[in-house]
């Protein structure tokens, strides 16, 4: 008997791609589907500070999002940004052509060399061929100056993510049998996008229209570090095409304590999503994670993804992956191409 699957259309940097979806409602995930990896030993001495870093940043996001619209529009992305930085309002995007508009609001800022925690420098000191790919824009900070410590707390969280990502990319290299420092030179001025998402509880109208918080998509870069609060709503599409809810149930196979209640995300964790660029570089050994968000609760939800990739990624993609033949020749051969 053949199963009737739906084709989910996704936008990617190289045009639309499709993934099959099984005809079932999302179910809770199992411990095997979303493994939990303990990163604490990497930074154990600063655990309490790191916890404060997240809490302070979340507080700032809520302060920003709860301002009157005209204050948020001081950093309106469509108006002031060349590179999708700044504020994007509720129902102003539709990331998935197969789904509704997105109910979330977002604030984005991208890599600027002066904010780099490892080697801060003025943009004029960055080599020419890299400088033209730097996507940070100052208007996001100029238009939020009225919020005390907003920049400080957002950048503190972003910096912690950047440091962690530079360590994690070394683990990815080792896992692919590459030299540990394989990516080091390619992430000196990386793609490092801080995005803060705010998902208000949906209106009755939005519930009836089955509006998504953020529609199905894959992330574009090497990988994403995604912190989310305890409200829940993140779903991931398995390789088989089943939507699963990222939740506490992935920690233990004993689901009994969640009977009848929605299982919350695991406290103290971040989700690591593989991006399209990593998938292409390693010829599908790691597959990019299709995910989406629907806030089905009556509370607001906050998430703080950090998207990490190589410097000059867009130029490299254009040069290395643009041709159809190149894409086709990238069968799963386990050969990692230059990145």
Ligand X SMILES: O=C(O)CCC(=O)C(=O)O
105-109 and 191-199 beta bridge pairing: antiparallel
Q: Between residues 112 and 216, which has the closer beta carbon with respect to ligand X?
A: 216
Are the C-beta atoms of residues 235 and 245 closer than 8 Å to each other?
yes
Q: Between residues 186 and 217, which has the closer beta carbon with respect to ligand X?
A: 217
Question: Which region among 18-26, 79-87, 172-180, 226-234 touches ligand X (by CB under 6 A)?
Answer: 226-234
Decide: is 305 part of the binding site for ligand X (CB under 6 A). yes
Task: Candidates 8, 154, 214, 272: give the one binding ligand X (CB under 6 A).
Answer: 214
Decide: is 293 part of the binding site for ligand X (CB under 6 A). yes
Decide: is 234 part of the binding site for ligand X (CB under 6 A). yes
Position of minimal CB gap to ligand X: 303
Provide CB contacts within 8 A for 168, sequence distance 6+. Answer: 39, 223, 225, 272
Output the six-digit token pair for 190: 């990386």
Q: What's the distance, CA 329 to chain centroid?
A: 28
Q: Between residues 11 and 56, which has the closer beta carbon with respect to ligand X?
A: 11
Are the C-beta atoms of residues 220 and 288 closer than 8 Å to each other?
no
For ligand X, the binding residues in 137-166 under the rule CB under 6 A are none
Provide CB contacts within 8 A for 106, sequence distance 6+. Answer: 87, 88, 93, 195, 196, 197, 198
Output the six-digit token pair for 299: 């509370």
Task: Candidates 85, 93, 144, 228: give the one binding ligand X (CB under 6 A).
Answer: 228
Output the six-digit token pair for 214: 């953020």
For ligand X, the binding residues in 56-85 under the rule CB under 6 A are none
CB of 176 to ligand X, least distance (A): 24
Decide: is 303 part of the binding site for ligand X (CB under 6 A). yes
CB of 32 to ligand X, least distance (A): 21
Decide: is 197 part of the binding site for ligand X (CB under 6 A). yes
Q: Is 169 exposed, middle or buried (0-12, 13-18, 19+ CB in 10 A)?
A: buried
Decide: is 110 part of the binding site for ligand X (CB under 6 A). no
Nearest CA to 33 out of 243, 220, 199, 230 is that of 243
User: By the criterion CB under 6 A, which residues form the site for ligand X?
Assistant: 195, 197, 214, 219, 226, 228, 234, 291, 293, 303, 305
């Amino acid at each position: 008997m053949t199963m009737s699957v739906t084709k989910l259309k996704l936008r990617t940097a190289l045009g639309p791609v499709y993934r099959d979806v099984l005809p079932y409602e999302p179910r809770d995930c199992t411990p095997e589907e979303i493994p939990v990896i303990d990163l604490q030993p990497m930074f154990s001495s600063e655990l309490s500070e790191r916890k404060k870093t997240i809490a302070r940043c979340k507080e700032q996001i809520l302060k920003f999002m709860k301002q009157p619209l005209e204050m948020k529009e001081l950093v309106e992305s469509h108006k002031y940004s060349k590179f999708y930085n700044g504020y994007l309002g509720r129902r102003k995007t539709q990331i998935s052509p197969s789904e509704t508009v997105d109910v979330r609001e977002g604030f984005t800022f991208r890599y600027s060399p002066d904010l780099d925690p490892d080697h801060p420098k003025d943009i004029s000191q960055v080599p020419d061929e890299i400088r033209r790919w730097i996507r940070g824009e100052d208007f996001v900070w100029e238009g939020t100056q009225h919020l005390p410590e907003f920049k400080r707390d957002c950048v503190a969280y972003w910096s912690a993510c950047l440091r962690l990502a530079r360590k994690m990319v070394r683990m990815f290299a080792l896992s692919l049998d590459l030299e540990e420092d394989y990516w080091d030179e390619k992430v000196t001025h990386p793609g490092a996008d801080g995005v803060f998402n705010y998902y208000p509880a949906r209106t009755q109208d939005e519930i009836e229209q089955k509006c998504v918080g953020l529609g199905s998509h894959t992330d574009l870069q090497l990988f994403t570090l995604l912190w989310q609060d305890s409200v829940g709503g993140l779903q991931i599409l398995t390789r088989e095409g089943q939507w699963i809810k990222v939740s506490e149930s992935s920690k233990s196979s004993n689901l009994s304590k969640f009977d009848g209640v929605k299982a919350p995300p695991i406290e103290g964790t971040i989700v690591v999503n593989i991006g399209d660029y990593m998938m292409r570089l390693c010829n599908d050994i790691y597959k990019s994670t299709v995910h989406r968000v629907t806030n089905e609760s009556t509370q607001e939800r906050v998430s703080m993804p950090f998207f990490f990739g190589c410097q000059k990624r867009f130029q490299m993609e254009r040069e290395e992956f643009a041709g159809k033949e190149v894409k086709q020749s990238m069968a799963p051969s386990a050969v990692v191409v230059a990145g």
